[in-house]
Every structure is written in structure tokens, then in C-alpha cells.
Amino acid sequence: EENKMSTVVDNSQVLSGLTDRFVAIFGDERGISYFFSPGRINLIGEHTDYNGGYVFPASITIGTTGLARLRDDHKVRLYSENFPEIGIIEFDLADSGVKDGNSWSNYVKGMITVLKEAGYKIDSGFEFLIQGEIPTASGLSSSASLELLVGVTLNDLFKLNVPRLELVQLGQKTENEFIGVNSGILDQFAIGFGEVKKAILLDCNTLKYEMVPVELRDYDIVIMNTNKPRALAESKYNERFSETREALKRLQTKLPITALAELSNAEFDANVDLINDTMLIKRARHAVYENNRTKIAKKAFVSGDLTKFGDLLNASHASLKDDYEVTGIELDTLAETAQKQPGTLGARMTGAGFGGCAIVLVAHDRVAAFEKAVGDIYEKTVGYPASFYVAQIGSGATKLDVN
């Protein structure tokens, strides 16, 4: 299962270019293995994962590629095509637990550390060259993409046989304990379990999930990138985490619940007085309403009612803007301008927010006109351009079959 290979994307040119780079950096071409890990979009179910609720993500064909080879000593040597100015990063396997500033090598060190803690044997060094296509800080989860890339790579190099769910959970553990963001399991799960042309309805409380075919008829999913540098996003994310935990604690003084997502909207409304704080009520209301909205949205999606699904995307954005307050002028301009364009069904921010990307469902033959119209208004309002990409839903993190 874990070693299943995939040849879904024709990336042979990219891979042969990266092979040349690997040879230029690390010497020769013997024994290289190839890996790919996607980014993700979340269709709906935002900031619900760490509140025990539903999410509805899909892995995309934009991602991170890795080339790796074992060494017969204990040196780990890393190189990223995205940071040529840094050059080779080298450390001894024994020093994997030592964090290195904000370096991308922390994702490698973190995964080595959590795998070892879980009892897996990583007993030699390796060489690892990566190239990421996911714009950083874009809300498309470049960090979880890297965590799972390292996960599938180490799993294969050291023949660890880590069950897929455990690999996903170790990715989250790296993010929580090594990087220091209290994120839920949305990103790592979407990237670990993604499949071509399928979305995942995941119950983050039980980790039960369902693969849902993505049938958009003549609509495309367009990703709209604010290109806003995501300042303070991590501390604000952790703040929302604490706010919803505090609201839960106050509700628990009377209600026998373990997570906000256990409540219906009506049950929540009837008990807001227990929270007794306007801001905390708004935060918790988003978590509860968004979770219930996600269940309805998934039903609409499966039944082919894309109009209703689009309306729920719009409602999700409004809630993230007004109650959860994680949008800002850039995401609001993109999502709200997109919602008004002819041929669109709905639009919302995707991921953590505070900048990053929004998604929109646009009729295929209107995409070009859409991008022009929204792009012009965005640049006029914000002062710099947005970027647009049509999303393709691709496979999860995997070893690549390269001849």
C-alpha cells in the first residue's frame, strides 16, 4: 500500500531537469528515488478541524518534488531549488532534534525526530533535493506538503512501513511540536489521502472519511492568490485556537460536550450566555455553524446541486470574515468581487486565512473574462496584482515511478 507508485502527472521533463540538478549538487546519479507531495485546497469546513468538525479538502497537482538517496555515513545533506542562496544544509543525524531558526530544514529534522520517537529506525544519513511549486504562505499548505514529502521519502528509503494514517499524524505532530503551530489535521490528511478527481469528507473527531468524486460539469475551481505576505499568521492562528478552546471550556460548565462541533446551531444559540463574551461567542459560532454548513454542503455537492453548494461557500466566507475575523481586505476583495461575477457559483477563502488564497467555482468558458475582471478590481483596490490558477485535483503524497 505505502509503496504504491503513481504516474498520474506527466512530469518526466521536470524530473530529468531535477536529476541534473541532483547530480550537480550531490555528485552522481546512482540510486536516486523520486517523490511527490501535493498542496491542497479546502472546499469548505474552515477552522473546524481543531474543533472536532468536518473538513472537505482535495489535494492539487501543484506540490513539492523530492529526490533522495541513502548515504553510508550519518550525514544528512539537503538542498532546495527554492533557496539556492542557502546552498547545501548539512547536519549529523544525531542533531536532528536541534531546531535551526526558520530554515526549511526544520521540516526534515522534525519528521526524523517524530518518526524516531515513534520507534522507527532511521540509522543512516541521506541526500535530499527538493523543489516546491506551491507559493509560500499562500494557504495551499506548502508546509504540510513538505512534511508529507519527507514522510513518504523516509518511509521508502528506510523501509519503515509506516501506516498512512500514522504518517499523516506524525506530519501534524511535526507542525504542532517542532514548528509550533497548533494546527489540526486537515492539511496533512488531505495531502496524505488525496486522490485524483476526488475530494475528502473527513470527520476530524473520529478520523472517518469518505472519498467524494468531484463532478463539476462545466465549472472549474479557480484558485485566487492575494499575494499578500502572511505576517503574524502563525500567532493569530494560535490565538483563534485558544479562543475556541476557551469558549468550549465555558460551554462545558453546563453542556456534556468534548468539542464545539458536537453542537447544532440551535443548541449553540440556546447556550451562548454561558460563554458571556461577545468576541468568544463569535469565534465559537463560526466553528459550530461552519461545521453544520459543511455537512449540508457535502450533501448538496454529492446530489449535484452546485448552486446551493456555491451559496454555502459564500456563507462560509462571510462567517470567516465577520465572526472568525481571519480574512482582511485582500481576501475579502477577491472573494466578494468573485461572488458577483457572471458565471460564478460561490467563492471563499481557503486555508488558515490572514492572506493566502481564495477559491471560486467559475463556468469554464468564463474563466479568462473572470480573471481579467477580478484581477483589475483587486489591483485597483489593493495596489498589487493577484494571481489565478485553475486547480486540478491530483493524487496524494507518493513515490514516483521513474524509469
Residues that bind ligand GAF (CB under 6 A): 46-47, 49-50, 141, 183-184, 186-187, 351-352
Instruction: In whole angstroms, give the CA distance from residue 92 to residue 198.
Output: 40
Q: In sequence order, what E strands does 125-215 have? A: 126-132, 198-203, 209-213
| Residues in the annotated binding site for Mg(2+) | 143, 175
Q: Tell the smallest beta-carbon distance from residue 20 to ligand GAF (Å).
A: 34
Which residue shows C-alpha cell 475528502?
200
Output the residue with the shortest Cβ distance to ligand GAF: 183
Q: Tell the smallest beta-carbon distance from residue 187 to ligand GAF (Å).
A: 5
Q: Tell the smallest beta-carbon distance from residue 256 to ligand GAF (Å).
A: 25
Number of Cα atoms under 13 Å in the Cβ half of residue 227 = 11
Instruction: In whole angstroms, give the CA distance from residue 217 to residue 164.
Output: 32
Which residue shows C-alpha cell 458577483?
340
Q: Tell the smallest beta-carbon distance from residue 55 to ligand GAF (Å).
A: 7
Instruction: In whole angstroms, give the CA distance from residue 285 to residue 263.
Output: 10
Kindly tell me which of 319 and 341 has the beta carbon lying closer to ligand GAF: 319
Which of the residues 187, 220, 323, 332 is marked catalytic?
Answer: 187
Instruction: In whole angstroms, give the CA distance from residue 363 to residue 18.
Output: 36
The CA distances from residue 236 to 28, 45, 221, 330, 357, in Å, are: 45, 19, 28, 17, 17
Kindly tell me which of 49 and 371 has the beta carbon lying closer to ligand GAF: 49
What are the grid coordinates assigned to 378, written together? 483587486
Q: Who contacts 41 (Cβ-Cβ below 8 Å, separation ≥6)?
A: 57, 58, 60, 140, 221, 223, 350, 351, 357, 359, 391
Kindly tell me which of 127 and 187 has the beta carbon lying closer to ligand GAF: 187
Instruction: In whole angstroms, give the CA distance from residue 349 to residue 63.
Output: 19
Q: Tell the smallest beta-carbon distance from residue 108 to ligand GAF (Å).
A: 19
Kindly tell me which of 23 and 318 has the beta carbon lying closer to ligand GAF: 318
Q: Is the dihedral of CA 331, 337, 340, 345 positive or negative?
A: negative
Kindly tell me which of 145 and 344 has the beta carbon lying closer to ligand GAF: 145
DSSP result, 8-54 = -S--HHHHHHHHHHHHHHHS--TT-EEEEEEEEEESS--S-GGGT-E
Kindly tell me which of 137 and 360 has the beta carbon lying closer to ligand GAF: 137
Q: Tell the smallest beta-carbon distance from residue 240 to ligand GAF (Å).
A: 9
| Residues in the annotated binding site | 46-49, 80, 137-143, 175, 237
Q: Confirm if 220 and 368 have CB atoms less than 8 A apart.
A: no
Task: Please confirm, yes or no, whether 187 is among the known catalytic residues.
Answer: yes
What are the grid coordinates assigned to 377, written together? 478590481
Kindly tell me which of 34 and 237 has the beta carbon lying closer to ligand GAF: 237
Helices and strands (DSSP H and E) totals, the chain:
11, 14
**Beta 75-80 vs 126-132: how paired, if at all?**
parallel
Q: Tell the smallest beta-carbon distance from residue 317 to ligand GAF (Å).
A: 13
DSSP result, 272-330 = GGGT--HHHHHHHHHHHHHHHHHHHHHHHHHTT-HHHHHHHHHHHHHHHHHTS----HH
Active site residues: 187
